[in-house]
Amino acid sequence: MSPVNVTIASGASWQEVAADRQRHRDATIASLNPPLPKLSASDIPLDTTGIPGSILTAKELEITEKNVEDLVSLLASGQWSAKTVVQAFMRRAAVAQQLTNCVTEILSERALQRAAELDDHLAATGQPVGPLHGLPISVKEHVGMKGYDLNAGFVAWVGQVGEEDALILQILWDAGAVFYVRTTQPQTLMHLETRSNLYGTTVNPFNTTLTAGGSSGGEGALVGLRGSVLGIGTDIGGSIRSPAANNGLFGFKPTALRLPVSGWSATMAGSDHIVGTIGPLSTSLEGVSLFVRTILSGRPWLREPSLVPIPWRGKDQLEERARGRKLRVGVIWDDKVVRPHPPILAALSRVVAELQKSDEVDVIEWECWKHDLAWEVIAKLYFCDGAAEEKAAIAASGEPLLPLSKWILENPHVREHTISTLWQAHEERQAYRTSYAAIWNERDVDVILCPAGPGVAPKLETARYWGYTSQWNLLNYPAVVFPVGTKVSREESAQGKQDNKEHEYPEAYKPMSEADQYNYDLWKEHGVDGYVGAPVSLQLVGRM
């Protein structure tokens, strides 16, 4: 790393700052050894996921096709060295960057030095340093690293440097992790897509006309292409789950105040009206679980005292809950605000049909209670200063306000609060949470199965509806996104039309809301062909 000299403070224009950051990124990639071929736009198909196989070595492919649980085992036993593994992932990440524009920098020097330390330790002691010994982990840019730029997606913030590694990185480091790549995020961190004036747009590796999601969209695309199998994202309205869902990954938003967030950079420091969370995106559920278990076993609450000391309960709690009766799964088909696109409902139909075959599960229809009100309540608390800090951070460099920034910062619920209106909004938040909890108590379900968004990965610049994810941020319930294993395809849709009404909107469908009209129009405009290749994902929500 080196200090960033081209900054607004040094007199550069926002365009010069962005160009310099991109040069830096490219330089970190160019330094990889062996070097990678430079792809031209015409080399990149709509579905990019086959490209790494044509560029990487067989060994690199073998390594990067493994999931977290296999990698930690191979690394701990010394069958693969940490150096070999991280080199393979750095090279695959470099390919992913060319395909989707998901990387802000590759940390090859730091990563190779760390890997060498770990390899030496294992050789000397015969023991791994911890449960993540040698595991490469990718990191969203705004999670601070000591000595590295920490711009949080604002041009004006380039030149700010992490004072120390974020606490979550310190704990993962102690467990043996290797940090090797940092990833893109949108302006304001408050899009469900990933576009900034620093790096441009991150696209979806399964269909480059679609978004990778956001705000952890660099992680989504990178892990989607297996340039990482475990990445760190952040989520205050869907920012882990949208990219996970859009890229066919597992993504977990924990209950707030369980995993440590100190050391991240964002606007509104000190705002705790809706509490943001940090969590994993992974190619496997075990990757998610190992991540959370490892951090909790580091007892982060002793160092970040706002956290609550709840240990990992694994499956015990569910089994406890369900003991003596079937597991009760509530199903949300739609939230009565926006009907999900046909591929989501079709997938949900199939999953529900499978659950209904089980002797151990009861499926209950979950009628949504005022999810439109939920959006009002949370949107009123996102930017309590009227989005003054975001606007100031953008204005400071003269960078343009991007359309999805404008969409969220200027939504009709944003206001500059007084203490009095803030307390009222807190009371509305508490009243909503209490009412929803009472409904959950009455229905007595164990988990809710629901869409992860109003469709698969959206067309670029169209991800406006947050309700399927922000609902669970408002309620502060843990939620995990998972792939159902299918992708949007003409064949599947044609097949589905014959045996499942969920493969199209009902005839003469009347949208329920303005947001539903928008979502409906998107489907009418683009249809199956417009979203072809996109992975289909769903969401499971627990309580606490």
Give the active site residues. 140, 215, 239
**Strand bridging mode 203-204 / 207-211:** antiparallel
544 binds its own copies (CB under 8 A): yes
In the complex, the smallest distance separating the C-beta of residue 287 from its own copies, rounded to whole angstroms, is 25
- Counting contacts by CB under 8 A, is residue 426 touching its own copies? yes
- Nearer to its own copies by C-beta: 89 or 440? 440
The token pair that represents 541 in the structure block: 């929500």
Single out the residue of 118, 152, 338, 384 in contact with its own copies (rule: CB under 8 A): 384
Pairing of strands 277-282, 230-235: antiparallel
Q: Show the tokens assigned to 55.
A: 């560029």
Nearer to its own copies, 273 or 293 (CB): 273
Cα dihedral 47, 526, 250, 106 sign: positive
| Min CB(164)–its own copies separation in Å | 12
Amino acid found at 10: S
Q: What is the DSSP letter of 376?
A: H
Identify residue 60 by its one-letter amino acid code: E
Q: How many CA atoms lie within 13 A of 44 on its CB side?
A: 19
Region from 38-46, 88-96, 436-444, 449-457 binding its own copies, contact rule CB under 8 A = 436-444
427 lies in the binding site for its own copies (CB under 8 A) = yes
Please pick, from the candidates 121, 328, 350, 543, the single residue that binds its own copies as defined by CB under 8 A: 543
Assigned token pair, 465: 């509806």
State yes or no: residue 382 binds its own copies (CB under 8 A): no
Q: Does 164 bind its own copies (CB under 8 A)?
A: no
Which DSSP category does 535 fall into?
Answer: E
**Least Å distance between CB 276 and its own copies?**
14
Give the total of residues touching its own copies (CB under 8 A). 42
What 3-state class would DSSP assign to 250?
Answer: strand
Among 113, 358, 424, 517, binds its own copies (CB under 8 A): 424
Cβ distance to its own copies smaller for residue 310 or 353: 310
Tell me which of 57, 438, 495, 525 binds its own copies, using CB under 8 A.
Answer: 438
The yes or no reply on residue 309 touching its own copies (CB under 8 A) is yes
Separation CA 398–CA 53 (nearest Å): 41
Per CB under 8 A, the list member of 419, 442, 499, 508 interacting with its own copies is 419
Helix (H, G, I), strand (E, B) or coil at 507: coil
41 binds its own copies (CB under 8 A): no
Could you say which of 121, 350, 433, 443 contacts its own copies (CB under 8 A)? 433
| Contact between 369 and its own copies per CB under 8 A | no
Asked if residue 306 binds its own copies (CB under 8 A), the reply is yes
Whether the CB-CB separation of 332 and 448 falls below 8 Å is answered with yes
For residue 465, the Cα-to-chain-centroid distance in whole angstroms is: 16
Q: Position 58: which residue type?
A: A
Q: Is 10 an interacting residue with respect to its own copies (CB under 8 A)?
A: no
When asked if residue 79 is in the footprint of its own copies (CB under 8 A), the reply is no
Q: Which is nearer to its own copies, 303 or 524 (CB)?
A: 303
- By CB under 8 A, name the one of 95, 156, 368, 425 that touches its own copies: 425
> Phi and psi for 232 in degrees, rounded to 5?
-105, 125
Q: CA neighbours within 13 Å on the CB side: how many for 200?
A: 10
Shortest reach from residue 356's CB to its own copies, in Å: 27
CB of 435 to its own copies, least distance (A): 10
- Output the smallest distance, CB 167 to its own copies, in A: 10
Which has the closest alpha carbon to 227: 458, 437, 49?
A: 49
State the DSSP string of 5-52.
--STTTT--HHHHHHHHHHHHHHHHHTSSSPPPPPPGGG--SS-TTHH
Q: Respond yes or no on whether the N-terminal peptide bond of residue 34 is cis (omega within 30° of 0).
A: yes
Least CB distance to its own copies at residue 430 (A): 6
Residue 434 contacts its own copies per CB under 8 A: yes
Q: Specify the residue, 387 or 522, whose C-beta has the smaller distance to its own copies.
A: 387
Nearer to its own copies, 21 or 429 (CB): 429
Q: Which is nearer to its own copies, 46 or 544 (by Cβ)? A: 544
Q: Does 392 bind its own copies (CB under 8 A)?
A: no
SS (H, E, C) 413-465: CCCECCHHHHHHHHHHHHHHHHHHHHHHHHHCCCEEEEECCCCCCCECCCCCC
Q: Residue 58 or 269: which CB sits closer to its own copies?
A: 269
Kindly identify the residues of this chain, within the stretch 444-503, that bind its own copies according to CB under 8 A: 475-476
What does the DSSP assignment read for 171-213? HHHHTT-EEEEEE---GGG--SS-EETTTEE-EETTEEEEE--
Nearer to its own copies, 446 or 504 (CB): 446
Contact 101, 184 (CB under 8 A): yes
Q: Which of residues 242-261 bind its own copies (CB under 8 A)?
A: 257
What track of x and - describes contact with its own copies for positions 265 through 304 (by CB under 8 A)?
A: ---xxxxx----------------------------xxxx
Which amino acid is it at 305? P
Query: Residue 229 — φ and ψ, nearest 5°?
Result: -110, -5
Instruction: Confirm or reject binding of residue 416 to its own copies (CB under 8 A).
Output: yes
Summarize as ranges the residues that interact with its own copies (CB under 8 A). Answer: 257, 262, 268-272, 301-306, 308-310, 384-385, 388, 416-420, 422-427, 430, 433-434, 436-438, 440-441, 475-476, 543-544
